[in-house]
Amino acid sequence: MYSLSSQKKYWTFKTEQELADLRVGQNIRFITKHGAAMTDDQKQAHFLSADEERLLLKQYELQLKEFCKRFEPPMPKYVVGTAFHYFKRFYLNNSSMDYHPKEILATCVYLACKVEEFNVSIAQFVANIKGDRVKAMDIILSNELLLMQELNYYLTIHNPMRPIEGFLIDIKTRCNMNNPDRLRPGIEDFIDKTFLTDAPLMYAPSQIALAAVLHAASKEQENLDSYVTESLFGAAKDKLPVLIEAVRRVRSMVRTIELPQKERVRFLEKKLEKCRNQENNPDSQIYKQRMKKMYEDEDDLDVMGSSYHMNVSDVNLEVSQLNTTNPVNMTLD
């Protein structure tokens, strides 16, 4: 149940300001750490501001949406929703200058496929990625544990798809609407747009689902006000004001989505390449040297492990021989 979930307890926030504060905080931490020797003017020119990071992440959310839309085999909506949740959560506490969004994006989708049991192998997954697929595979697998750690291993996501189905069944049962299934295209379009807002981080799946149903109904010139006030909340009218406000806010967030301008995005992409943490850049020498050292350390551990097992085996053999030939080691009843 959502009401008892880690999503509600740890990953649902009360206000947009709370989310903004988290994003500003991670931006300041990165700049403080990596720009300690710079003046304020140099920092401003070199690093992305919190607003610039947010704008750039919106562009990558659009790319995430398109990637999932083109994915083969076709990806269920609940997998897409889970991937968006992971992506949004990750960048509440991490800077895009530390971990490039294009790399985290693919890892979020891959992890969502696994968690939601949409069974695709890593080879099938990277077949949907253009460019060097071996490199993409290495990046995804090396970032998978990092992503889970940053999510605090809270991987279960409650999406609005199940409540939507519940609402449609209920409308068919308790409403006089002709063919409620004709609302589906409008509902799906609305849900796709909520992924580009902070609504998934602020509202319950059932609230987002109801906002989608009411939006689609209004597009079809259908009025469901009496269904909401009488059928859904007839016995709990005290909860109605909170629900109405949540639905209003979700619909407002969807209505006021601003898509980033391409020229601005290109400028920020270039700026990001200059200021990103090179230790986490797979194309940098620092990253390659770090990975090489890590693999060498693993090889050393493997060698030490095999040597240890060999020595233990030798010792056991000697003790065994001793026990069978030396009467001093015999036990007496």
Q: What pLDDT is stored for residue 304 in this prediction? A: 55
What are 25-69's pLDDT values in tens digits? 999 999 999 999 999 999 999 999 999 999 999 999 999 999 999
More confident residue, 330 or 204: 204
For the cut 50, the answer to whether the pLDDT of residue 320 exceeds it is no
| CA angle (2 as vertex; 58, 190 as ends), nearest 5 | 40
Categorize the per-residue pLDDT at 8 as very low, low, confident or very high, splitting at 50, 70 and 90: very high
**According to the model, what pLDDT value does residue 326 have?**
40
At residue 289, the pLDDT reads: 81
- pLDDT confidence of 332, banded at 50, 70, 90? very low
Domains of the chain: 2-157 (1.10.472.10), 160-256 (1.10.472.10)
Whose tokens are 């695709």? That residue is 120
Sorting pLDDT into bands at 50, 70 and 90, what band is 234?
A: confident
Is the pLDDT at 316 greater than 80? The verdict is no
Residue 222: name the closest of 167, 162, 165 by CA: 167
Report how far residue 110's alpha carbon sits from residue 141's, in angstroms, rounded to the nearest whole number: 9
* Local confidence band at 232 (pLDDT 50, 70, 90 cut-offs): confident
pLDDT tens-place string over residues 59-81: 999 999 999 999 999 999 999 99
What type of residue sits at position 45?
A
Whole-number Å distance between alpha carbons of 203 and 242 = 11
Element (H, E) at 43: helix 40-46
What does the pLDDT average to over 98-110?
A: 97
Over residues 126-153, mean pLDDT: 96
Instruction: Look up residue 235 and give its two tokens.
Output: 């016995």
Mean pLDDT computed over every residue of the chain: 89
Q: pLDDT-based confidence at 306, cuts 50/70/90?
A: low
pLDDT tens per residue, range 267-294: 999 999 999 999 998 888 887 787 777 6
Confidence tier at 299 by pLDDT (50, 70, 90) = low
